[in-house]
Structure 1
């Protein structure tokens, strides 16, 4: 090994890179697969899903009607516990500003939730203080996590203390319980828990089967037949859901609704990785990413194994004399195989050791790319056995073919000089190089497609203006001063307009799913689904949404209190050919009359992964966020002026603002992360492939040194020699590009199916990928080729 330093470096270095990639991905996969696996009685705990048949496909929804839990609890003996939680954003409680009752300054916190006490027990929450049975009985009670108790009451006892949420000093919330923080590998991660018991969000909500806002979990008694229980749940549709639809004035086909609506139970252990098709507003992993990144890491390791095989067989002639002499003095083939496998195992052990060290060094960077907090398992009991077993497996797999290949040389051929140097296995080596570059080019194609899709999304025309819009959060603390605040903001010379509404076309703002139908008429079988938002008269102008028919809201018209503006999609769904002046109604208004006064052009209020759905906007106040449209390039000066106005209205509360364009980009953080990780592994794959190509080109130059010298003596130019040495390798890269293009197209076409709005994969992507691979190959080979082309011919022919 010492005599062949470069080849040893390529073998060990390539293996180390492959091992590091595999180790990091293994940590990532291990963390992803660990979610919700340590919950007590997890096999009996499920999340209830609404499953509805639409256009031939079953679509899953996590939101359940408020009375569902009580009905199931009282009428189904199979149920041991059932509990709900409600994202606090739905009813303006959060994200929130919160403070101690004896402090003036609020702190901005995000993870608030309304919850049933039984759900904390179902989740297995560990109570540190308070009564696990009755802590949330009082409507003004509050349970917090240990980390928040320490934050707000350092060195003090938080139990029994009071906190003010959203500056609502009239309703201080008493801390009645402290629980341990949820593990990082739990699918929810809330910190503040407010009770659902006794809270009225709107009149009739707790008996409304048509409005669905609650996440519902159930723990079944052991031995319950899951299939039979799900079947029994369908009775709820006929007993409660259909009668209320009839009572709302809708024409109903009972059998059709019953056949197209069912309740399904999702095991809690499958929520994190099994909810790609469930819109629940929670953070999730994606099993496809696990398979993808695992496959990529495996391929990188395979590329390193290919380098080992290629270089071992290519350098076979250098060991031919050794093999011949050993066989002549009586060595058996099995002994030679053992020798070569031992060498392979040694290289494997060294490589894995270096790879683990490299993984440890790269872990902080990988955590940044993957948005993880992975910890290197240096003290884990399984680490040492894993390294030993991996060394054995990789060493044997990578060394088996070279061992049998080298040990198969016949002594008589070697001693007579009949063994052609490097001739055997050249076809196999070429095939393996093609495989390496095919894999690398596929990764390059994937990288190009991902970044084009991200660029397409971030620059797409979404139907509203997201640039230079400042979002001021926690505006609900202004209470009655909010109109004054907005008016003062609009007077600023740097401000074009301002609007008050929690409903915005970005992630993390309020949503309100609803059903709509024409007033005085019925839509056969069911209402049309869509979003029902509340906004002020400046909303459409501030966001730059295009009004294509009718007029905007006006505070001067008292009749606008019962007026709405709808988008084109809702007009189409309701079959309103000339919507302005027509009257519609919805669940939230209990069937009361709403006049359509305007129609806006469809805009993307959700991710571009989803189709635009119906939207209805009613005039009103939802005071959590103030959107400010700035009309100056001096953003710093504008922010100072806005802050001054805020301080004049809320001197004891810190202003908190974000920017809409940044919030829009955050909707696609997962795609960006995937692109970064994909790019990183593509670079690693190319590095491994190029290491092998560099060593093979050095071997080729060594083998053809006499030929090159003779050509130079006969007048060959440096260019012609470079062409001679690089031509074969470039042909292999070209073949790789031809093979990789259809494979890469198919894989990325499948990935793009997640998006309703996406790029078209064009031919230039494949050309660029091939050119990148070709350029990298030329650069890799050129060092050896140029050195060979410039060598003195006399040195190459000296032995002759």
Structure 2
């Protein structure tokens, strides 16, 4: 029996080659999109999941009540990792982590390169599953001048991990460190990015003495809890742990307080955003969005298959009638048609696997991933088998039930008619397809506009022709010479320095005071040190006062603030309504406000502009060099900059970055997801049009004699095309009406993640609707015109 079913299926496929090809193409495209998204989602969900202690690992979060607002951040005092295990027996071990991904110059003999690494606690290799090739987890990071490096660095500098052990590496042409361990290269599915690790004691005592204070949150703190620990109870115990260290008591806790809470380590990568002091989302939103898109793409492909199969049902009707007359049971017919569908699905899956293999390199380049087809993993084949079975059953169920229900007497008499309920069901499927297509079209428009808005928004400073150079090695003591020489070179418009990049200022403080400040209220300010001429280099606009100037020796005690800070401080000058000239104490150092600059974006556009204080740092021993080039002369200026830096700092490789590129990196996720949605939206529309084409074929097939009668009675081709097309346009209009409020709600919710965004406009929905109507009209016009041009003699010959 199975052999006969297979023969019938193959004959049917061969007899209807175009129909089979369209069906396979539609299913293959839907499966290809779904598989690509499946691989992307699978990779996202696997990030950081390889650590053996993962279920017991947590990141300690800092929640702060300041100025009546709640905010949460992963930054904690550097001393916390040492103190927590002493106070709480639930903690097995803890470690600090700077999370800076510092680019530092390594030199061994004549070989000098920039490498990426962090400072971590001594128990790092006990908490995290990073295999050590050489060395011991107990001693790898114990020594203050110890250094753990990756296999890649060991092979690069010394030839092998064994040869690297015990050797000396000079870092930043300043300090020598001894290799005490070599660890395996980190896997691709990790959110951590380092090729070397330095001891926490080096961070605390030698490199960052400010970290010894409890009021300076900056590093991260990871803890490993006992497997039997009651996590909610432990969170309640550590909630007010910092109060005694920060001098918070019951009197001022209502106005300013700091709380601790835990975030599971496995959630950090996907849940990296906070709102109102709580974890609110992050990349998990895009995982969910694309997962829904994958399901919808597969549904569209299945619906497309149903419509095309039903459209060709008349050609199989007599076959069904004869088979029933000779004794075939309905269950056998259902099995046969489902089997044919599964066979088509298997062919479509094979085509999809081929397409995925061809598209995967481009997809990886687009998404920034390194995913591969996991042929060796059981879960992939299980998932693929489930997709085949579900797709085959969903796509083939309706055609199988429909064809097997036909009455042989009516079929063999040529009286095949379609019940109104069945017609409405198929129309409902087309409406569903175009609802999804409309959602994707509108989503594409909104995401594109928002990404374009981000890329073109005026940040309050000019990021064009602006270059960042890290101040390191001999450049630090030679900054005055460097700046003087650069200003003489052609192509360079201005030079200054800042301890952070202007679009990524993350340091905050509450140690700010001024006359009239409410002592019970703590206000958070961002802070950054800047050098002379920064206003000219960034092209910032002064709203009052002046910027730091060499003409005023007292400027070392002056402060420049933004409009938000001026508004929050609340000074009111009788003449100008400006705080310029008023006293301000920052970090315990009294001074005066000398200027107010226009608000500028120094953080992501996801965040509103906050108050910021800029303090004088021309002579700081750290930071970034800011160089503005003349328009059109960036290449020449960059060559001059590189030559001079190599002369003054020969032991450290010259590195730089462009401000506009750094800014775009902040929104890499939005750009990637936006591009993916563009491609998937196009494919979803294409597959939906195949379904619409199927329904148009079915309708034309059912109304062949009606069209013939109309033509005999004088109906024109245009009137018949309009008659057939109007039915489909009605379905598209219904889809537009349904999709518009849903898409408005979904896009508005997505845009709420940005503090600064493009508003939703009615024309977006109107344009999307018009585009859907035009696509539908073009799709059905082919079948409509074909039916209208048919010779009525052919269609009415049997009457």
User: TM-score, normalization: structure 1?
Assistant: 0.91
Give 1:191's match in structure 2, choosing from 195, 211, 230. Answer: 195
How do 1:199-348 residues align onto structure 2 when only pairs under 5 Å count? 199-200=204-205, 205-242=210-247, 253-256=251-254, 260-277=257-274, 286-348=283-345
Residue 63 and residue 568 in structure 1: after superposition, are their counterparts in 2 closer, same or farther (change >3 A)? same
How do 1:712-751 residues align onto structure 2 when only pairs under 5 Å count? 712=711, 716-751=715-750
Once structures 1 and 2 are overlaid, which stretch shifts more, 331-340 or 602-611? Answer: 331-340
- Matched-pair contact (CA < 8 Å) for 1:314–1:425: no
How do 1:371-390 residues align onto structure 2 when only pairs under 5 Å count? 371-390=368-387
Q: CA deviation at 1:23?
A: 1.6
Per the alignment, residue 349 of structure 1 pairs with: 346
Once structures 1 and 2 are overlaid, which stretch shifts more, 294-303 or 782-791? Answer: 782-791
Per the alignment, residue 128 of structure 1 pairs with: 133
Q: CA deviation at 1:599?
A: 1.2
Per the alignment, residue 166 of structure 1 pairs with: 172
Q: 2:440 is paired with a residue of what secondary structure?
A: helix
User: What is the distance in 1 between the residues matched to 2:208 and 2:676?
Assistant: 49
Per the alignment, residue 31 of structure 1 pairs with: 43
Q: CA deviation at 1:441?
A: 0.9
- Matched-pair contact (CA < 8 Å) for 1:463–1:601: yes
Q: 1:66 is paired with a residue of what secondary structure?
A: coil
Q: Deviations over 1:15-67 (max 9, x none)?
A: 21222222222222222222232312222221111123468775321111123
Per the alignment, residue 429 of structure 2 pairs with: 432
Q: CA deviation at 1:633?
A: 1.8
Q: CA deviation at 1:553?
A: 0.8
Per the alignment, residue 534 of structure 1 pairs with: 529
User: What is the distance in 2 between the residues matched to 1:279 and 1:113?
Assistant: 30
Q: Is residue 594 of structure 1 aligned with residue 598 of structure 2?
A: no
Per the alignment, residue 98 of structure 1 pairs with: 106
User: What is the distance in 2 between the residues matched to 1:405 and 1:557?
Assistant: 89
Residue 519 and residue 255 in structure 1: after superposition, are their counterparts in 2 closer, same or farther (change >3 A)? closer
- Matched-pair contact (CA < 8 Å) for 1:62–1:278: no
Q: Is residue 116 of structure 1 aligned with residue 116 of structure 2?
A: no
Q: Deviations over 1:154-211 (max 9, x none)?
A: 347122222233332xx22222221122332233122221222154368973542221
Residue 204 and residue 387 in structure 1: after superposition, are their counterparts in 2 closer, same or farther (change >3 A)? closer
Q: CA deviation at 1:424?
A: 6.7
- Matched-pair contact (CA < 8 Å) for 1:242–1:254: no
Residue 572 and residue 740 in structure 1: after superposition, are their counterparts in 2 closer, same or farther (change >3 A)? same
Q: CA deviation at 1:686?
A: 0.8
Q: CA deviation at 1:760?
A: 0.9
Q: Deviations over 1:649-668 (max 9, x none)?
A: 34565432222112212211
How do 1:298-697 residues align onto structure 2 when only pairs under 5 Å count? 298-420=295-417, 425-507=422-504, 511-519=506-514, 523-577=518-572, 578-586=578-586, 589=587, 591-620=588-617, 621=620, 623-651=622-650, 653-697=652-696
Q: 1:394 is paired with a residue of what secondary structure?
A: helix
User: What is the distance in 1 between the residues matched to 2:638 and 2:691?
Assistant: 55
Q: CA deviation at 1:451?
A: 0.3
Q: CA deviation at 1:124?
A: 3.0
Q: 2:625 is paired with a residue of what secondary structure?
A: strand
Q: CA deviation at 1:625?
A: 2.4
User: What is the distance in 1 between the residues matched to 2:381 and 2:615?
Assistant: 64
Residue 522 and residue 384 in structure 1: after superposition, are their counterparts in 2 closer, same or farther (change >3 A)? closer
Per the alignment, residue 59 of structure 1 pairs with: 71
Once structures 1 and 2 are overlaid, which stretch shifts more, 457-466 or 336-345? Answer: 336-345
Give 1:142's match in structure 2, choosing from 144, 147, 150. Answer: 147
User: What is the distance in 1 between the residues matched to 2:209 and 2:631?
Assistant: 47
User: What is the distance in 2 between the residues matched to 1:479 and 1:668?
Assistant: 31
User: What is the distance in 2 between the residues matched to 1:336 and 1:88?
Assistant: 65
User: TM-score, normalization: structure 2?
Assistant: 0.91
- Matched-pair contact (CA < 8 Å) for 1:512–1:532: yes
User: What is the distance in 2 between the residues matched to 1:672 and 1:389?
Assistant: 32
User: What is the distance in 1 between the residues matched to 2:721 and 2:780?
Assistant: 9
Q: CA deviation at 1:490?
A: 1.4
Q: 1:663 is paired with a residue of what secondary structure?
A: helix
Residue 214 and residue 521 in structure 1: after superposition, are their counterparts in 2 closer, same or farther (change >3 A)? farther
Q: CA deviation at 1:117?
A: 1.3
Residue 130 and residue 285 in structure 1: after superposition, are their counterparts in 2 closer, same or farther (change >3 A)? farther
Q: CA deviation at 1:788?
A: 4.1
Give 1:178's match in structure 2, choosing from 182, 194, 213. Answer: 182
Q: CA deviation at 1:716?
A: 4.7
- Matched-pair contact (CA < 8 Å) for 1:548–1:599: yes
User: What is the distance in 1 between the residues matched to 2:558 and 2:358?
Assistant: 61
Q: CA deviation at 1:313?
A: 2.7
Residue 55 and residue 780 in structure 1: after superposition, are their counterparts in 2 closer, same or farther (change >3 A)? farther
Residue 673 and residue 421 in structure 1: after superposition, are their counterparts in 2 closer, same or farther (change >3 A)? same
- Matched-pair contact (CA < 8 Å) for 1:140–1:174: yes
User: What is the distance in 1 between the residues matched to 2:193 and 2:37?
Assistant: 24
- Matched-pair contact (CA < 8 Å) for 1:166–1:477: no
Q: Is residue 73 of structure 1 aligned with residue 85 of structure 2?
A: yes
- Matched-pair contact (CA < 8 Å) for 2:473–2:649: no
User: What is the distance in 1 between the residues matched to 2:647 and 2:498?
Assistant: 21
Q: CA deviation at 1:687?
A: 1.4
Per the alignment, residue 771 of structure 1 pairs with: 770
Q: 2:192 is paired with a residue of what secondary structure?
A: coil
Q: 2:596 is paired with a residue of what secondary structure?
A: strand
- Matched-pair contact (CA < 8 Å) for 2:75–2:220: yes
Q: Deviations over 1:755-800 (max 9, x none)?
A: 0111111111111111222222233233334444455555555666
Residue 235 and residue 415 in structure 1: after superposition, are their counterparts in 2 closer, same or farther (change >3 A)? closer
Q: 2:478 is paired with a residue of what secondary structure?
A: helix
- Matched-pair contact (CA < 8 Å) for 2:497–2:625: yes
Q: 2:289 is paired with a residue of what secondary structure?
A: helix
CA root-mean-square deviation: 2.8
Per the alignment, residue 7 of structure 2 pairs with: none
User: What is the distance in 2 between the residues matched to 1:517 and 1:576?
Assistant: 14
User: What is the distance in 2 between the residues matched to 1:132 and 1:81?
Assistant: 13
User: What is the distance in 1 between the residues matched to 2:512 and 2:340?
Assistant: 76
Q: 2:453 is paired with a residue of what secondary structure?
A: helix
User: What is the distance in 1 between the residues matched to 2:633 and 2:785?
Assistant: 55
Q: CA deviation at 1:711?
A: 4.8
Q: CA deviation at 1:605?
A: 0.4
Q: CA deviation at 1:354?
A: 2.2
User: What is the distance in 1 between the residues matched to 2:276 and 2:121?
Assistant: 21
User: What is the distance in 2 between the residues matched to 1:501 and 1:524?
Assistant: 31
Q: Deviations over 1:210-259 (max 9, x none)?
A: 2111200111233222222222223523322226xx9xxxxx8244268x
- Matched-pair contact (CA < 8 Å) for 2:66–2:521: no
Residue 576 and residue 518 in structure 1: after superposition, are their counterparts in 2 closer, same or farther (change >3 A)? farther
Q: Point out where structure 1 has 5 or more consecutive residues left out of the alignment.
A: 247-251
- Matched-pair contact (CA < 8 Å) for 2:473–2:652: no
Q: How many residues are paired up?
A: 776
User: What is the distance in 1 between the residues matched to 2:276 and 2:640?
Assistant: 39
Q: 2:524 is paired with a residue of what secondary structure?
A: strand
Q: CA deviation at 1:592?
A: 2.4
